[in-house]
A and B are shown apart, each in its own frame.
Chain A
Amino acid sequence: MTSELDIFVGNTTLIDEDMYRLWLDGYLVTNAVALRVRSGILEQMGSTAAVLQSDTMDRYRTFHMLERLLHAPPKLLHQLIFQILPSRQALLIERYYAFDEAFVREVLGKKLSKGTKKDLDDISTITGITLKSCRRQFDNFKRVFKVVEEMRGSLVDNIQQHFLLSDQLARDYAAIVFFANNRFETGKKKLQYLSFGDFAFSAELMIQNWTLGAVDSQMDDMHMDLDKEFLQDLKELKLLVADKDLLDLHKSLVCTALWGKLGVFSEMKANFKNLSRGLVNVATKLTHNKDVRDLFRRAVLPKSVFSVCPLPRWLPTPGPLGPLHGHPPWLPPAPLS
């Protein structure tokens, strides 16, 4: 006696959170069944392994059918095939687009191409995340990237609108997309100590201040690309190190601004010249794409610059854009709050 066909269809599609997690994590049916057996669920219900197997298969099939819709979350909301409570819909989407820290650190800044996809095997081995799950996460990144790539307006808003993600998750995706677009190098050994959160924070500031969209809200389709003109302008920051007066002025302005806001204030003050030189060095060389990609490595590299305080609190940030573009370039970077 073999079961040829075995299905269960409810008027309301029930979502078992634990099962969903197992599925997202890429467990095969057999592994998932084994895990569930170990969880003692059978004893609770006085059930058999066959029942568990059937249930698992069935739920996996449902998730598989839902997956197509999850690729375009607004479809999930408007589709008629599965009647799912709104709270469950949100959960389905949020969990589907969630990613592993370990995974994102491997992929951040890489081109979301077929080539990278081929490396997922290795990433899976390194991170211990199943290949299936790696693929899902990678495809999510790529899908979001493709959709918002050419779009006008705020990156986060676009992502939220088209993928119905929570605010935090949308911000994370904005960072991922921004990094992928600008191909910032994040994989170097020296950068290993930085978490995804650190990069995401930097990305947010860069999107806010360094992109074309940030400069001119009329040109708001360029939230992903850095403002080339701005990068060119940064060359003139050389003055800040070359001219003694400007250096002092810069120092005093920065110190005033950061007074009381920084734990390592005295060290900063003592090393200001070195720090400033390091930063200006990084800033003036952002004219070539290759250098831009290397931004983080170089920004972290000079011991002199970042020995005081780790990224991202000391990332070179040009502050509110208005003043930077309208004023002489010697104006100091605005302090971070």
Chain B
Amino acid sequence: MPGKLKVKIVAGRHLPVMDRASDLTDAFVEVKFGNTTFKTDVYLKSLNPQWNSEWFKFEVDDEDLQDEPLQITVLDHDTYSANDAIGKVYIDIDPLLYSEAATVISGWFPIYDTIHGIRGEINVVVKVDLFNDLNRFRQSSCGVKFFCTTSIPKCYRAVIIHGFVEELVVNEDPEYQWIDRIRTPRASNEARQRLISLMSGELQRKIGLKVLEMRGNAVVGYLQCFDLEGESGLVVRAIGTACTLDKLSSPAAFLPACNSPSKEMKEIPFNEDPNPNTHSSGPSTPLKNQTYSFSPSKSYSRQSSSSDTDLSLTPKTGMGSGSAGKEGGPFKALLRQQTQSALEQREFPFFTLTAFPPGFLVHVGGVVSARSVKLLDRIHNPDEPETRDAWWAEIRQEIKSHAKALGCHAVVGYSESTSICEEVCILSASGTAAVLNPRFLQDGTVEGCLEQRLEENLPTRCGFCHIPYDELNMPFPAHLTYCYNCRKQKVPDVLFTTIDLPTDATVIGKGCLIQARLCRLKKKAQAEANATAISNLLPFMEYEVHTQLMNKLKLKGMNALFGLRIQITVGENMLMGLASATGVYLAALPTPGGIQIAGKTPNDGSYEQHISHMQKKINDTIAKNKELYEINPPEISEEIIGSPIPEPRQRSRLLRSQSESSDEVTELDLSHGKKDAFVLEIDDTDAMEDVHSLLTDVPPPSGFYSCNTEIMPGINNWTSEIQMFTSVRVIRLSSLNLTNQALNKNFNDLCENLLKSLYFKLRSMIPCCLCHVNFTVSLPEDELIQVTVTAVAITFDKNQALQTTKTHVEKSLQRASTDNEELLQFPLELCSDSLPSHPLPPAKAVTVEKASPVGDGNFRNRSAPPCANSTVGVVKMTPLSFIPGAKITKYLGIINMFFIRETTSLREEGGVSGFLHAFIAEVFAMVRAHVAALGGNAVVSYIMKQCVFMENPNKNQAQCLINVSGDAVVFVRESDLEVVSTQQPTANCQSSCTEGEVTT
């Protein structure tokens, strides 16, 4: 008997009135786990019953503990008729199964009914006694930690990053079983919720087993998705990155005097602007050098990874080594071998992470993606999900080969998605081809990360931009120049990636959200014909989306995209493409050229005039954008760079392909053939529209910035005021004007208006940045387009932002290419972060702090006395992996919840808007309640993975399914944010106190 689950039902409150006569309720509770059920006494005539039950004990094996949710049902006792259900609470007890997470679940949970929503709350206490030895654990994968966060969680250190884990389970969807015809909607919804809960438990356990096999102890970047395939079944699939994590011992290991600064250091990589431009430069340099010499681990450094990173690694794909490094030949070879052997062992060298420990990422090749159109068939044997497995294996294989073609041995920022319409399913996968540092991938290099970071004589912050592939044998036509930073290695002129901006990258100015939006009409068709039609359309969509992205990037005067996510959604009669990314100006890449417009009929005078007018407008927009995003790169003459510029042409860093069910693979080269890429030819009205649409994107109102990555390049000094939100819009297209153009315009307007609404709604938070803006498009019906946005708005301190950017940008730019000293700060801070147990003398900690360039922004809260949790009960939610101005002290476990809500009185509940608004608010409430019950005060890496909304206004009905996940955490604020309006004074006093610290 490996585990004993104990449950106590304490009380209820705000119960609904179940007995009309007395206006009261006779409530009791059923507690069910597996096949065992306990009941409390009936508490007569009360809306606030006090059951105070005994401990209900379930003796179960740990496999069940992992798979099964605890099910608590609140009922109204009825003497003469059947007892009426009030609602249910499902509690995932997984967080209780690993040692460091929560020890008890205790708190008020909303009682949820799929028809009526939340109906009161119930107070429950849950505990688990595990009395098996560690070996037994391993059979069931209890104890493997799961994180949704796509970077190494804050209070852990990555010892080894093992790699890709995936699993999928299938089942019949209860909604489509024959029994559904005779049971109530409530019963059907509950069967579904329960099944999905079970399936995700099972999935998690299976993934855990794989992790144990790889000798890891955690899954980071865990992404679990549901495919509602309708008739053909229900698929739950998950991917993640297996890691061996070490919990960082408490920073209190330092002397108390430097305790506070060291805590701050821990936050720097996350809270801090990755842009070294903002660093204060002057006095810190000598201090830094001094600090540097303290480094105790320097003595036993064996390999110089700095040279490694400078080298462009030629992979073993037989492309030769034309761009071989100028130095460190043996090292390079060694590194390569290590890397390859480390990665060769893996079937798929994929990583779902988007942010990495410093030094992990060596080079980035570009985005790789693959799509495949499949026809769904009934899953006959749920225990053998072979077809689905095979589909994904195929796609992953393709991704792998694309990465190889880019000279990369790994794929980072990897994600998978599906879009289903009737029996057609588009499977998509994408990631960023990359060359990785092998140290993290192998056993026995525990101290590798630290050592390397310390010793590194400046890890090139431009290193990741350098091409990993061979210059002479490029996989696609590309335009290379010498790196604008180090002048040694070749870089492409644009870089597209799916990852977050590396913290050590040099960025000029600020970034911005860039979206490409596209609709394509498609004929309605059945089965095979439909799949073929979609397959034929896909390459064109990819091409156009890519062109749009490229043009918009140029228009912004930027040269790189991060966090690129292209979503293709299939509907009955159309395909939608939505690509979102954060554009930035990487200092290492060349300045982007402008956009030229060329007319087809040069002789026509008025036409010519029109063209030149357009050209002027475009040029003006570029100039305006440059000013807006503060992009003012230093002028570097071409001679110095010595760049051999061939005729300019567009380089696509995207390699994709579509394969349809027939497995026919077509490689699509997205470079624009012989044409000059930045010349837009206006040969018909379509092209005209395109140019116009380019210019219609309105920049956010002043005081607002937006990005879809974790943090906004160019902004530091975030305040602690955050607001996570979800916004949903559905529009109905008038079926009359369904042309591609009209569709595009509608879709474009929809997205633009949505953004405008968000800016307006959040205007009280100015100056503010919308981070991690995540758009999801779905086509629930013929003429309906649904767009769901989840993001977090974070206020920043404007005055400081201005100061730092204005004053420091130029300085650091002047030295950007030669003086690398500032960079030292990062490795140093990071090492103190990752190894607090390190015997650092107190003096060092102080020095580090003094040297820290980021003081003003980051130390803002230190002066205030630490008082955690003064705002009792408030649970923060954020899609980011961190909380500004606070430190995450504990991860309590993964939150993964699935809810169905249905109504048969849509009008009475305020129509579709009222219905969905209430439901989303309820989902938030349930997430918060679970986190609070675990003892947490925030959810990080929160994501709404699914929001499927169906309505039937004629029948006055609607149904919605929502799936959310995130990591429950405990955070401690250095100072409390009691009143938002006192931000300003606090900011002032902190900067003065920072100074005080320095002089001591």
Contact = CB atoms under 8 A, between A and B. Distances in A.
B108 interface: yes
A82 interface: yes
Given A7-B916, A9-B921, A46-B701, A51 B14 contact: no
A237 B474 CA distance: 113
Nearest to B745: A1
Contacts of A48: 753, 756
A64 B909 CA distance: 11
A252 B949 CA distance: 82
B731 A80 contact: no
A193 interface: no
Contacts of B33: none
Given A45-B760, A81-B118, A11 B723 contact: yes
A30 to B, nearest CB: 17
A50 B749 CA distance: 12
B727 interface: yes
A10 B760 contact: no
A2 B732 contact: yes
A50 B753 contact: yes
Given A11-B724, A47-B760, A83-B924, A1 B918 contact: no
Nearest to B949: A5
Indicate the member of A3, A16, A62, A64 with the most B CB atoms within 10 Å: A3
Interface in B728-746: 728-734, 746
A79 interface: yes
A14 B757 contact: no
Interface string B10-54: 000110000000000000000000000000000000000000000
Contact of B723 (A5, A10, A45, A79): A10
B877 A8 contact: no
Contacts of B110: 80-81
B757 A5 contact: no
A80 B925 contact: yes
A52 B914 CA distance: 18
A78 B123 CA distance: 13
Interface residues of B, number: 53
B98 to A, nearest CB: 27
Nearest to B876: A11
A64 B913 CA distance: 12
B912 A65 contact: no
Nearest to A42: B760
A7 B761 contact: no
Contacts of B731: 1-4
Interface in A266-315: none
Contacts, number: 133
Given A1-B734, A11-B924, A78 B912 contact: no
Contacts of A82: 921, 925
A48 B752 CA distance: 12
Nearest to B750: A1
Contacts of B759: 45, 47
A78 B758 CA distance: 29
Contacts of B910: 61, 64-65
Contacts of A46: 701
B763 interface: yes
A176 B870 CA distance: 38
B929 interface: yes
Nearest to A7: B917
B917 A51 contact: no
Indicate the member of B13, B733, B757 with the most A CB atoms within 10 Å: B757
B772 interface: no
Given A51-B757, A81-B922, A9 B917 contact: yes
Contacts of A64: 910, 914
B726 interface: yes
A133 to B, nearest CB: 21
A190 interface: no
B961 to A, nearest CB: 15
Given A12-B723, A80-B925, A83-B924, A5 B916 contact: yes
Interface in A49-83: 50-52, 54-55, 57-58, 61-62, 64-65, 75, 78-83
Interface in A1-41: 1-14, 16
Nearest to B764: A14
A248 B850 CA distance: 88
Contacts of B727: 7-9
Given A1-B746, A5-B729, A14-B764, A81 B921 contact: yes
B757 A1 contact: no
A335 to B, nearest CB: 46
B121 interface: yes
A78 B13 contact: yes
Contacts of A16: 764
B725 interface: yes
B749 to A, nearest CB: 7
A57 B734 CA distance: 23
A47 B763 CA distance: 11
A16 B765 CA distance: 12
A9 B913 contact: no
B921 A65 contact: yes
Contacts of A10: 723-725
B874 interface: yes
Contact of B728 (A7, A13, A62): A7
B978 to A, nearest CB: 9
A52 B110 CA distance: 33
A316 B760 CA distance: 58
Contacts of A13: 921
A9 B725 contact: yes
B784 interface: yes
Interface string A185-226: 000000000000000000000000000000000000000000
A58 B760 CA distance: 12
Indicate the member of A4, A55, A64, A65 with the most B CB atoms within 10 Å: A4
Contacts of A3: 729-731
Given A46-B701, A81-B118, A83-B874, A5 B912 contact: yes
B928 interface: yes
Contacts of B925: 80-83
Contacts of A7: 727-729, 913, 916-917, 920
A6 B874 CA distance: 27
B920 A9 contact: yes
Contacts of A6: 728-730, 757, 913
B875 interface: yes
A9 B726 contact: yes
A218 B14 CA distance: 31
A88 B991 CA distance: 30
Contacts of A85: 871, 874
A85 B925 CA distance: 14
A1 B734 CA distance: 6
Contacts of B108: 80
B914 A61 contact: yes
A82 to B, nearest CB: 6
A228 B913 CA distance: 55
Nearest to B698: A46
Contact of A55 (B14, B118, B746, B760): B760
Contacts of B733: 1
A2 B917 CA distance: 19
24 contacts: A1-B731, A1-B733, A2-B732, A5-B912, A5-B916, A6-B730, A7-B917, A8-B726, A12-B874, A47-B759, A48-B753, A48-B756, A51-B757, A54-B757, A61-B910, A61-B917, A65-B910, A79-B14, A80-B110, A80-B121, A81-B925, A83-B924, A83-B925, A85-B871
Closest 4 CB pairs of A and B: A5-B730, A10-B725, A4-B730, A9-B920
Given A4-B912, A52-B760, A64-B914, 12 more contacts: A2-B734, A3-B730, A9-B920, A9-B921, A45-B701, A50-B753, A54-B753, A64-B910, A78-B121, A81-B925, A82-B925, A85-B874
Interface of A: 1-14, 16, 45-48, 50-52, 54-55, 57-58, 61-62, 64-65, 75, 78-83, 85
